[in-house]
Structure 1
Amino acid sequence: MTAIKEVVNRFGKKEALLLQVILAVQDADPQNHLSEEAVNEISREMNISRSRVYSTASFYSEISLKPRGIHIIRICTNAPCENANKASILAAIKQELGIKIGQTTADGFFSLESVNCLGACYMSPAIKIDDAVYGDLTPEAAVAIIRNLRKEYQDEQNA
C-alpha cells in the first residue's frame, strides 16, 4: 500500500482531490480496479470516511470496484451510436471476445463495458479502448482493432 501513500502525497490530502487519487490508484492497479484494501488505505491516508471514498468510486463509470482486464473496451449506448448501428459493432466484439458486457475474457486481457456517452457523437458508432477513442466503426474494423491489440501484446511477450 506504499504506492497509495505516494499517490496521496503527490496529489494532496484535500477531499476535493479524492477523485484524482482514486483514478491514479486504479490506473496503477494491474487489474484496473479499486480494491477493498485500496478504499481503506485511501480513507486512512486522506483522513476521509471509507463511505465517502466508496461512494465517490461507485458513482463514476470509469471506476471499477471489481478486477478488470488489461484493456477495457467501452461501448457507447447513447442515441447517436444506437442509430449508427452500434448493435452490430457490439455483436462482433462479443463474438470475437466470447464475453458479454460486464465480463472479462478468461485470459484477463479484455473487459467489455457499456457507457452512456463517450463524447464522440460526431464519429458514431464509437468505442473507447483504454484512453483511445475509435469511431466511424464497422464490425470488421472493431474486430481488427481488438486483434491488433492482442498481436501487439503477443509480439511484446515474444521479444
Structure 2
Amino acid sequence: MSDIKLACNIAEQVKAICDTYDNQPGELIHILHEAQHLQGYLPEEMQRIIARKLNIPVSKVYGVVSFYTFFTMTPKGKHPISVCMGTACYVRGSEKLLEEFRRILGIEVGEITPDGKYSLDCLRCVGACGLAPVVMIGEKVYGRLQPVDVKRIIDELDATR
C-alpha cells in the first residue's frame, strides 16, 4: 500500500469533482481526467476516494487508470515530454529524438529530472502521423523534429517560468 497522503484540499477537490458528476460510475473517465489535472497524476489514495464516492471497487478504478495511456499513477515533471514511438514516427526517427532527450536531460524513460522540471516518456501514437516524428510536451505537439531541434526546445522551455 502507498504511503503517499493527499493534501486535505486535494482530497476535497476530488470529492467535489465526483459530486459534480452526481457520483455516477458511468462518468468515471471524466472524473479521472479532472482529478488527474489537479496533481498531474492519479495516486492510490485519489483512486480510493473516487471509488468510495462512486460506490465501485477500487479495482475498477485501477483497471481504467492502468488501461488508458493518458492516465498515470506516477508524478510527472513540470514539462512532461512524451516521444511518439508509433510506426510513422519510429520510421522517421523518433528513436533518435528520444536518445537526444535522454542525453540532454540526463534521465531515462520514466524518470524525472532532479529539479522536477522534466519527465520523459514514450507513447504509441499521438494521431499526428503527417507531422512525424512527433513529441508532446504538456499539451503542445511538436512535429517534424530532428535531433538537432531538441536542444533548442529545452532551451526555450528553460527560459519560461
TM-score normalised according to structure 1 size: 0.90
1:113 counterpart = 2:124: no
Find the partner of 1:136 among 133, 137, 144.
Answer: 144
Q: Secondary structure at the match of 1:72?
A: strand
Partner residue of 2:38? 28
1:16 counterpart = 2:26: yes
1:62 counterpart = 2:81: no
1:127 counterpart = 2:135: yes
Which ranges of 4 or more aligned residues in structure 1 deviate by more than 2 Å? none
Q: Secondary structure at the match of 1:67?
A: coil
Partner residue of 1:75? 83
Partner residue of 1:6? 16
TM-score normalised according to structure 2 size: 0.89
Deviation of 1:146 after TM superposition, in Å, equals 2.2
Deviation of 1:20 after TM superposition, in Å, equals 1.2
- Aligned mates of 1:13, 1:71 — CA distance in 2: 32
Question: Any unmatched runs of 5+ in structure 1?
Answer: 154-159
- Aligned mates of 1:131, 1:139 — CA distance in 2: 20
Find the partner of 2:110 among 96, 102, 113.
Answer: 102
Deviation of 1:150 after TM superposition, in Å, equals 1.8
Tell me, yes or no, if the aligned pair for 2:36 and 2:71 is still in contact at 8 Å. yes
Question: Any unmatched runs of 5+ in structure 2?
Answer: 1-10
- Aligned mates of 1:63, 1:7 — CA distance in 2: 17
Deviation of 1:40 after TM superposition, in Å, equals 0.7
Cα RMSD (Å) of the superposition? 1.2
Deviation of 1:132 after TM superposition, in Å, equals 0.9
Residue identity in the other structure for 1:53? V
The total of aligned residue pairs comes to 151
Deviation of 1:11 after TM superposition, in Å, equals 2.8
